[in-house]
Amino acid sequence: MPVTHYLVLSMALLIIGTVGVLTRRNIIVILMSIELILNAVNINLVAFSDYLQNINGQVFTIFVITDAAAEAAVGLGILIALFRNKETVHADEIDILRW
């Protein structure tokens, strides 16, 4: 398969993820959308790595996956702390800080 197919897929994932972060109410779904964006990056990197026959991209992918895991852990941790003080997972109900 030519590399452009993968690039179109990753572009689509990036856009879906971004729209998800900006429009969804549920914070868990927002965190999932962020994972989609990072997976778009991974697809890009692995596709380029295969196309260029160069290993660096796969190394980068492993680091991105690790980072995504750490981010999800911290994100869910903060969400639990938030949920203890105010029982909601909806982004639009978290609104004390506003100008």
Interface contacts to another protein, rule CB under 8 A: 10, 14, 17-18, 21, 27, 30-31, 34, 37-38, 40-41, 44-45, 47-48, 51-52, 54, 56-57, 59-60, 63-64, 67, 70-71, 74-75, 77-79, 81-82, 84-86, 91, 94, 96-99
| Single-letter residue type at 53 | Q
Q: What DSSP string runs through 18-43?
A: HHHHHH--BHHHHHHHHHHHHHHHHH
* Separation of alpha carbons 49 and 58, rounded Å: 6
